[in-house]
Every structure is written in C-alpha cells, then in structure tokens.
Structure 1
Amino acid sequence: MSPAPTAAAPGEPGDPLPSARPAASPLVHTVTLVEQQAKACAELGSPLYAALLDQVALDLAAGGPCAAALAGHEADPAGAAVALRLLGGVHALVLTGRVPELALHYPSAGGRFDPARPAAAWPAFRAAVADNLPWVRDWLTRPPQTNEVGRANLLVAGLLHVLAGRARPVRLFELGSSAGLNLLADHFRCEAPGFAYGPAGSPVVLTDAWQGTPPTAAPPLEFAERRGCDPAPIDPRSAEGALALRAYLWPDQPARAARLEGALRLAARIPAPVEAEGAADFLRGVRVADGALTVVWHSVMRQYVPAAEWAAVEAELERLAEQSTAAAPFAHLAFEPRRDGGMVRFVLTVRAGREPERVLAEAAPHGLPARLLPAAGEPGR
C-alpha cells in the first residue's frame, strides 16, 4: 500500500479522520458510519472486515442482532468508532475460542478468508453477536486502542532528523500511549532496500519501511527515560491487556499481528510506564533537562482529544519549546492525519525548539510504507 491520500472515512484510531456530518436520524447515522468504515477497511487492506461490515450495515437497517448490540449507541459520534468496537468484541470472542465456527474464517485464529466468497463468514458472525450480546455490548464501551507499532517508523525518522547524526540521550514522553508499545521504539528495527536501522535480531521488524530515499542512519538511539500517558492505559503484560490489543487488530493482516507479538515480548522485559492521565496534565509535569534531548511525540491521537484540552496541550508544548536551549533541547514529533481538501494525509511533523514546524514525511495510516517529502530533505542530515 502506498502512502497516498485516503478518502475521508472513520477508522480505527490512526485511520482516516471521522466525518462530523450529521445524518437524518440516529439509525441512518450509524448505518452510514458502518458503511464508511467498510470502505476504509477495504482501502486499508482488510477485505474480511470490509465484507463483514457491509453485512452489518444491512443487519442494522433490518433490526437484526447487530442492531440489538448497538442499541443505545446509535447517536454516538463518528470518533467513537462503534463499528470497530463491535468488530473488536467479536474478534475477542474468536481469539478466546468461544465461537469456533467463526474462527474458521479468521486467519488470526488459524482460519481462512476466501476472497471468492468474501461474505462467507457473515452467518457465523451474526450468530456470534446474537449468542453473546452481553459480551459484545461490554466491548462497545471500550475505545479501540492499538497505537499501531508500525507508526514508530515515522517517529524514529523524526528523531533521527532532530539528532542530525549526533549521539545524545533522549528523554521520551508520549501522549496517548495506550499500552506504551511505541515507547520501546529504540528496540525496533526498520528495514527498506538499502536501509536498516535499529538492533539486529529485534522481535519487531518494520519491513518495507520506506519508499524511495530512506532516512539517513545515525548512531543507536539511547533512551535515558521513557514515559507515556493515556486516559485508559492498557497493561500489555496482562492477559486481558494483550487480548484487547490483539482483538483490535484486523484478523486478516498477519504482518500487523507479528509486529504486535514482537512488541509484547519486548514489553514483558522493558519497563515503559504509562500514567492514567490526560495529555495536558501529563505535560505540566515535563521539563527540559541539561545534557539530554527532551522529546514529546504522539501518533494519531489528536483527533480524539477534546478541543479545550488540546489547546492546553499546545500551551504546554509552547512552554517546552520556549525552555529549549542548546544544552537542554526540546522537540515535538507527531504522526497525525491532516485534511487535504476531501482527502486525508498522514504526515510526520517535527518542531525542534523554537524553530517552525516542518512536515518531513507521509505514510500509510499504519505507518508502513513511508516516504520523505521532497521539500523536507532527509532526516538525519
């Protein structure tokens, strides 16, 4: 998949920006969002979910089990991603062995998706929802959290750009960390033709990371400190936390699953604390420090932060930028979606100290592949 513009549609956190356009009624609103999510899944390489959501939309309109599952959520905003909550809850049923008939169609559980019969899983999916309504409705209360590991590809590139080939300890603070997996990015390996960066033998290998000219490699990253925040953090070392992370991945995307499994192995042995706190409150406790580069980064989380809180976040980022000095530098790195007319692009932006923000690269929503933008130059030079 190339990092081309994506049609605006709702997606998992990290996919196209949700549309805020109101529908004629709550039910029509929900059906429309499910249909949009189906198109987004098709564009982002999940034909299984695209086919299932097409059927979910019809079942909603007909008052079937999916309508019962989503009862009370018909007026939820697009950003709530109710379609992905539904899919995540059913995927969790599959992964825990509760719906073996549906598991036959889920590659994540050893099943097989038949592209010649894309809707073959629908009868078993519908039965799974009907037979497990309390379970599914509980999952509808949970925000989808993946904080996709592939996005570390962009964040690391931004860090290489700021370091410009110089070895310097990094104090890393992440907003919207979920399970904190991308706080472990210094242990990931990024690879592309003619490019390899990160420790050899890492359990997380981000292959085909770059199209065209890749970033310039630099000395190994040294994270002197790593901390994150999230309003509802997930513990990746717990069985429940690992299940949630696996369930919100799309079952016919094995490369993403492999990246997650590798990151879970790293999380089991490397502390990466995530505080149960909002982004603005978290940043109020961050200061620059002599002898280290203080970095705040985040990936596809801004759209889920209320406007008033994000204004407070920007004020804290401005404070840190003003505190930045040669001895105690600061940088803000973000991989976030931006509207470009009727399309959405996912771009990497970097602001070092008081310098203006620069757009360095763009990528597919899950971070792979990426490409440097011509006007940006090469990170690390």
Structure 2
Amino acid sequence: MSQERAAVMVKHQARGCAELGSPLYAFLLERVARDVREGGPCAQALAGYGDAPGPDAVALRLLGGVHALALTGRAPDLAACYPSTGGVFDPDRPEPCWQAFRAAVTTEMEWVRDWMTRPPQTNEVGRANLLVTGLLRASQTWPLPVRLLELGSSAGLNLRADRFRYVSEGFAWGPADSPVLLEDAWRGIPPAWLVEAAARRPALTVVERRGCDVTPIDPLSSGGALALRAYIWPDQAARAARLEGALRLAEQVPAEVDAVGAADFLADVRPDPGTLTVVWHSIMRQYVPAAEWARVERELDRLAEAATAETGFAHVSFEPRRVGERHRFRLAVRLGGAAEQVLAEAPPHGLPAREVTTA
C-alpha cells in the first residue's frame, strides 16, 4: 500500500509540474511513478516515504537530489538533457532522458537516499513579488523604518526583497541595477494603490533583516547554494536566473536566519516604537504542526495589539487560498489590529500576480 501511495503522490506532483510549466519534470515523474509501481530503483529511492504526508513533497526531494547529481557533474548523461546544465530536453524523444535519470538513481542510490532526508527549500525568489506588495501596503499606513522578520525563511533570500527590481505594465519599483529582476510581475495593470505607494516610497529603509527556520540554509556556502539550485526545476531558466541574482545579492546585504521554530522566534519579538515591524511568510504554514501554529497566531495577535501610530505592525502572508484548491495562493495583509485583507493571488512561484478586490 505504501508503495502504491508513493506512486500516487509522484503522479500528483507530475500534474503539478505540467500545470506550472515544466514538461521535463512532468514527463520524468510519470516515468518515476511507473518505476515505483514496478519495483524499480525509484521504488528503492522512495522506500519508507510512501506514508509521508503531502507537505513532505517526496517527489520534489527525489528530483532535487538527482538534479544535484547533474549540477555537480556526477551524472553527465543526465546533464546532457537538463537545460540547467547546458543540455537539451527533446519532448519528441524523451526516452534517453528517462534512461539517464533512472541510471543516476541506480548508480548514486546512497546520495539520493541522503537527499530524501532533506525537506525541499527552494526559497522561491518570485514570491517576493507578493510579499513586497504587502510591505508597500503597510508602508502607506506607517511610513517608518522597517524591521523585516520572516517565518520559514530557508536561506533568507527574500529578506532582501526590497533590493529586488519589480517590473510590470506601467509599474517599476526597486533598484534599477538590482541583480534580481522580476519581470511581468502582474497580470495586466497593477493595482492603482500599489502604483501610488511605489511612487511615494521609491525606496524603503530596512533596519533589521531576520528570519527563522528549523533547518536553515547558508546561501553563502557551496553546499547551501547547491541545495537551492537543485530545487529549481531544470527547464525553468527565469527562476534559475532570479535565484542566481539573489545569491549575489546575499553576498552584499547581510541577513540573519535563526535555527528555531516560528512560535519560539516570535516569542522573542518585541514592539519597537518608531519602526514598522513586518512579519511575513510564504507557503510555509503547511509545514508547521497545528499546535505550534496556534502559538504563532497568539504571538501575532500580541504584536498586533501593541501597534500604535508610532509603532507599526503588519502580518503579510502568501499561502494557499484554501485546502484542496490546486495552485491558487493568496496575498493577505493584516495591519495592526485591523481585519485581514486579501489583496492579490498568484501561482505558487509568485508570478504573475492578479489583484483581488474581494476576499
């Protein structure tokens, strides 16, 4: 039963990859699912994970581990068909790619099994598109220096989101020379309030950049950078380019990520008069146990209740709209003790966003 469930989870992820623009991974995961059912090497790679909950993203762990083999030169035949390593994937002749993938799993089983123990953390740079939108909304209410705090921060790349460049029809915000460019940030014309807020605050003063993660990644280490690259899908060059830019920016702009859970992290946060404290997170809530998330909400309520005209607080989240709704994610903002507002929705990678006028 566990093996069959593993195959079902893999096929589910294959559909997701197809819908999100990765024909390479959609094809490979269809073949992985078949290999699991047939008891092939992919079944061995996934052994023990058949009963893992959906948030464990078992298929993405496998893909990340194998992609790392291609990136490090340990799977040259696979690298030849991965665009991320200079190869070419031919959708009309995909079988050689599958054979190279299967051979890599077989030959490097110990490597793959080790990667299966690691939760996938893409630290998706595109999600900053939504997070910064929420930040600019908060800055309209509190035009103050910003304390930027992130839950589930992974490598902390999005703690530098104010240093990214965002471009869309009739809209641009962020340093023009930023190494991170988010093009086509909005579907159609961006919200009028956002254009106005960006014009009024062409730059923000961020006085603190701090996040938390139970298993943080050091983006300045070779191993950390490899992990981040490995979890980018190899046929999605725009995502890879954004990541490379964010890695360069991480060398220039310091940020701190504490190895601690979200609730304990927030418990140490105190209101700071004269600043706008922003707590944000993106597609991480599903990984937090219910009991801990209840503590997170209590801490957020505490900080919200302490907000005043001189002490700003905003909670910004980009999370699934509702359980069971595939690939629909919403940007929600809570300003101080006010009710939460839903401002936009976007695919899970953050681009393009679409304004939501009613929750």
User: TM-score by structure 1 length?
Assistant: 0.90
Aligned ranges 1:105-254 → 2 under 5 Å: 105-164=81-140, 167-214=143-190, 215-216=194-195, 217=198, 218-219=200-201, 220-254=203-237
Cα deviation, 1:138-190, whole Å, max 9, x if unaligned, reads 00000000120000010101111111286420001100000000000011000
Cα deviations by residue, 1:218-265 (Å, 9 ceiling, x for unpaired): 311111111000000000000000000000110000000000000000
Assess if the C-alpha contact under 8 Å between 1:104 and 1:110 holds in 2. yes
CA distance in 2, matches of 1:27, 1:63: 8
Residue 332 of structure 1: CA displacement? 0.2
Alignment of 1:290-301 (within 5 A): 290-301=273-284
Deviations 1:289-344 (A, max 9, x none): 11110110000000110000000000000000111111101100000012277545
Q: Flag the structure with higher helix content.
A: 2
Q: Contact 1:213 / 1:372 at 8 angstroms: preserved in 2?
A: no
1:307 alignment counterpart: 290
* Correspondence 1:224-373 to 2 at 5 A: 224-339=207-322, 342-373=325-356
Equivalent-residue separation in structure 2 for 1:221 and 1:163 (angstroms): 9
TM-score (norm 2): 0.96
Q: Which residue of 2 aligns with 1:14?
A: none
% same residue: 65
State how far apart, in whole Å, the 2-side matches of 1:344 and 1:99 are. Answer: 32
- Output aligned runs, 1:27-66, within 5 Å: 27-66=3-42
Judge which range, 265-274 or 227-236, deviates more: 265-274
The alignment partner of 1:121 has SS state of helix
Please give the root-mean-square deviation of Cα atoms over the aligned residues, in Å.
Answer: 1.3
Letter in 2 for 1:38: A
CA distance in 1, matches of 2:280, 2:64: 26
- Aligned pair in 2 of structure 1 residues 342, 166: CA closer, same or farther (>3 Å)? closer
Distance (whole Å) between structure 2 residues aligned to residue 29 and residue 78 of structure 1: 11
Residue pair 2:142, 2:309 contacting (<8 A) in 1 also: no
- Alpha-carbon offset, residue 374 of structure 1: 2.5
**Partners of 2:320 and 2:326 in 1: CA distance:** 10
Following superposition, which runs of at least 4 residues in structure 1 exceed 3 angstroms of deviation? 340-344
Unaligned runs of 5+ in 1: 1-24, 377-381
Deviations 1:73-109 (A, max 9, x none): 2222221111111100000000000111110110000
Match of 1:94 among 70, 73, 76: 70
Question: What is the one-letter code of the residue matched to 1:35?
Answer: K
Distance 1:337 1:355 in 2: 21
Which has the higher mean CA deviation after the structures are superposed, 334-343 or 53-62?
Answer: 334-343
Corresponding residue SS for 2:122: coil
Structure 2: unaligned runs, 5 residues or longer: none
**Residue number in structure 1 paired with 2:56:** 80
Distance in 1, Cα, partners of 2:116 & 2:81: 22
Which residue identity is paired with 2:270? R
